Amino acid sequence: MVISQPDHVYTFVTFRLEEPVIWPRRTFYTAQDAEELAETVASYPVCESLLFGELWLKRERASLVNVEDGVLDKWHYGRIVLAGDAAHKVTINMGFGGNSSIESIVALCSQLKSEIVSHKESSLSLSTLERVFESYQAKRHAPMKMIMNLSLFTTRILTWDTPLIKLFARWIFPWLPKRYLIDQFSKIIKGGPKLDYIGMDNFPRGRLAWEDEATTDNSNDEDLE
Ligand SMILES: Cc1cc2nc3c(=O)[nH]c(=O)nc-3n(C[C@H](O)[C@H](O)[C@H](O)COP(=O)(O)OP(=O)(O)OC[C@H]3O[C@@H](n4cnc5c(N)ncnc54)[C@H](O)[C@@H]3O)c2cc1C
């Protein structure tokens, strides 16, 4: 997977592990491990005129890490609450990890703000906080499980995890309509939580309407292609 910025190119090479590493077991890799693994794919072409080995030699930096995922069953304890990767970690291939982390913070802030306003106090009791945290987790848990599974499926496709998935990745996936992935992503993005207490009237609009603002006007849909 290659992502480019005006002045940098980021290249991700995903290898399939023989078996998953399940917590509390953890694996850390050295620069030498990365070097040895890069050597195994050095002769692979990245494009018509470049081998991975040549790209590797020109790198600014590189690291080898496990691709992790998981959604915790409990996200809070007393006055402590988790958000982001600490509560819900997804594989990197759909680019949803950071975005989902921000969405969780948004959901949490909206609920906290609404409690603070209704209590007319800046400090909330432990029982109120626990209720807010529970409701925040309830709102975000199922969407994060769905995003985790979709991200994992994407990772499995990219790594040809099983013969069936390889068949799907090589011969079926390329024939899916161009819009298929965009539609899947869009469904997730437009259902995201918003900061309830920020006026949105003068906020710039994107090409995709929020789910709760959806209109019947689909004139911009073609642009998404
Ligand atoms: C290679 C890669 C590509 C990615 N691409 C995308 C993308 O395109 N789009 C996207 O939305 N997401 C992407 N993500 C995911 C995104 O980076 C994470 O989901 C996001 O950074 C999570 O934010 P966070 O604040 O929850 O955790 P982190 O960003 O991990 O922040 C946690 C911080 O806590 C610090 N910390 C840890 N332990 C302690 C301690 N004991 N004391 C003090 N500090 C501590 C850490 O150093 C770190 O700075 C990618 C991730 C990776 C690895």
Residue range 141-200, pLDDT digits in tens? 999 999 999 999 999 988 889 999 999 999 998 899 988 888 888 889 899 998 988 887
Tokens describing residue 117: 């306003």
Q: Write the pLDDT tens digit of every residue in 91-146.
A: 998 889 999 999 999 999 999 999 988 887 778 899 999 999 999 999 999 999 99
Apex 42 CA angle, 56 and 40, nearest 5: 115
Cα 35 to chain centroid distance, Å, stands at 27
CA of 198 to the centre of ligand 1 (A): 26
Apex 30 CA angle, 24 and 34, nearest 5: 110
CA of 85 to the centre of ligand 1 (A): 7
Atom 20 of ligand 1, nearest CA residue: 98
CA of 89 to the centre of ligand 1 (A): 9
Residue 110: name the closest of 192, 189, 179 by CA. 192
Atom 36 of ligand 1, nearest CA residue: 86
| Pick from 4-8, 21-25, 34-38, 178-182: least confident | 178-182
**CB neighbour class for 142 (10 Å; exposed up to 12, middle 13-18, buried from 19):** exposed
Ligand 1 atom closest to 83 (CA): 26
CA of 25 to the centre of ligand 1 (A): 20
Q: Quick one: what percent of the chain has pLDDT higher than 70? A: 95
What is the Cα–Cα distance from 58 to 60, expressed in whole angstroms?
A: 7
